[in-house]
Amino acid sequence: MFNTINEYPLELTGEPQNIVVTKGSEILTVQTIYDKLYIWILTPRNTFSQETKIIQIYDIDGVMQQGADEYKYISTVQLFGGSRVYHVFEIKKTE
């Protein structure tokens, strides 16, 4: 079985971001390249089923919303020479 590591850009919009990936994909990390955020996801190549990963980015002063969703921590990243710090989470919908 072969897997691929794919890179997806993230935006600092303050809103959750949907990334459509192959079912069974695993989020590896979030890093910066030239002060832009990217998420790397390990994706299996043996299936055509898809799922949506929901990513939320909070700045260091941000407050996580309480609700029925579960947050899974991915990474903390710094932009602009460390003057801005962001925490990145995957939102797992609970029913």
Instruction: Give me the residues paired with residue 85 across strands.
Output: 78
Average predicted confidence (pLDDT) for the chain: 86
* Phi, psi (deg, nearest 5) at residue 82: 90, 5
What is the tens place of the pLDDT at every residue in 49-74? 899 999 988 887 666 566 657 889 99
* Secondary structure (3-state) at 81: helix
* Secondary structure (3-state) at 80: helix
Residue with tokens 């579960």: 70
pLDDT at 25: 93
What is the tens place of the pLDDT at every residue in 30-51? 999 998 999 999 999 887 889 9
